Amino acid sequence: MDKKTGKILPQKDGTVVIEIKGVDVYDPTTGQVRANSTDDIACWFVDTNYNGESFFVRHAYFTGADKPYEKLKNALRAE
pLDDT digits (tens, 9 = 90+) for 15-49: 888 777 778 888 999 999 988 887 778 788 888 88
Q: Are residues 32 and 51 in the same domain?
A: no
Q: How many structural domains are present in the chain? A: 2
Q: Are residues 28 and 7 in the same domain?
A: yes
pLDDT digits (tens, 9 = 90+) for 41-79: 878 888 888 888 999 999 988 877 677 677 777 777 766
pTM over 0.85: no
Contact present, 57 and 44 (Cβ < 8 Å) = no
Q: Are residues 48 and 79 in the same domain?
A: yes
Q: Are residues 34 and 47 in the same domain?
A: no
In this structure, the number of other CB atoms found within 10 A of the CB of residue 6 comes to 9
Q: Is 66 helix (H, G, I), strand (E, B) or coil?
A: coil
Range of the domain at 29: 1-38
Backbone dihedral angles phi then psi of residue 33, each to the nearest 5 degrees: -110, 130
